[in-house]
Amino acid sequence: MTALLTIGELASHSRTTPRALRHFEALGLLHPKRSEAGQRLYDANATLQLGRIMLLKRAGYSLQTIRTLLSTRTLDPSTLLDAQIDLLAEQARTLETRLFQLRATRALLETGTTLDIEELCTLIRQGETTMSDAHWKPVLDRYFTEADKQRWEAAKSHFKPGECDDYATAWQDLIARTDTARRQNLPPENPKAIALLKEWQALQERLVDTVGKDQWQKVSQMYQDMNTWQTDTVHAPFSAETYAYINSIATEAKARNLI
């Protein structure tokens, strides 16, 4: 590794993105040097600082909290590792509970006990949800308080049995059509694009009415920051480009008083 790294080199070495590094800089978490041409250059101290930031992020801390921690005290490696150990231990306890349920059910099947399809699907969904929740927890902790999460959990009661699946399917279909329109360079002011926007708003409206506009604003902020937290196991249901596209339609529609 050279004494000074460019933003692209550091992003590659740290398995992050240049956009994330610029975001950390904007928050005052990273302080790169500058070449005579204005190019960002990162020395060993900056690289070490990035390591602290990434470790604290994986441990579930928000960027605002990380900024406070790094500005008020020196974090030794033991403290950083303890934070990650605590997070992984919590995830392990949740996974162990699900494993116990699945193994107990498997044992019942070996005794000849039968499960109907609904019971079996419920167990499978629980396992999938647990794995997904374990990966998503650090991201959700960054944007939502425990009270926020309870509001979202309570929102499920506003859906009748089966409606959640239908709602998710409707979103998947709309996202796919929006992405197609983006790739086809459909202008934001095109009536078909405006129609897509109105579908987004209609689907959002049910949740906004249930959890409140403040919660939906937090969701919007989370997706605006998606390039700073996406990994192989945690990713948004749409690309940053598609999200920017639907927002550009909204901007155009407001400017033309179409919504």
Q: Does 61 share its domain with 112?
A: no
**Residue 171: pLDDT band with limits 50, 70, 90:** confident
Size (the chain), residues: 259
Q: What is the mean pLDDT of the chain?
A: 78
Tell me: do 176 and 242 sit in the same domain: yes
| 97 & 107 share domain | yes
Alpha-carbon gap, residue 152 to 140, rounded angstroms = 11
Q: Which CATH number do you get for residue 43?
A: 1.10.1660.10
Among 104, 125, 143, residue at a domain's last position: 143
Asked if 54 and 48 touch (Cβ cutoff 8 Å), the reply is no
Separation of alpha carbons 222 and 219, rounded Å: 5
- 174-222 pLDDT per residue, tens: 888 998 899 889 999 999 999 999 999 998 887 787 788 888 889 889 9
Domain limits at 35?
5-75
Which of 143, 170, 187 is the C-terminal boundary of a domain?
143
What is the per-residue pLDDT for 130? Answer: 42
**pLDDT at site 198:** 93
One domain for residues 233 and 245: yes
Comparing 5-14, 99-108, 145-154, 174-183, the range with the smallest average pLDDT is 99-108
Which residue type, as a one-letter code, is found at position 236?
Answer: A
Residue 251 shares a structural domain with residue 211: yes
Rounded distance between C-alpha atoms, residue 83 and residue 58, angstroms = 9
Residues 67 and 117 in one domain: no
238: left (phi over 0), alpha (psi -120 to 50) or beta: beta
Domain count for the chain, please give it: 3
| 17 — pLDDT class (breaks 50, 70, 90) | confident
Claim to verify: residue 235 and residue 166 sit in the same structural domain = yes
Domain check: are 152 and 240 in the same one?
yes
pLDDT tens digits along 26-79 = 888 899 999 888 899 999 888 888 888 887 777 667 787 788 777 766 666 676
Residues 86 and 123 in one domain: yes
Same domain, 19 and 64: yes
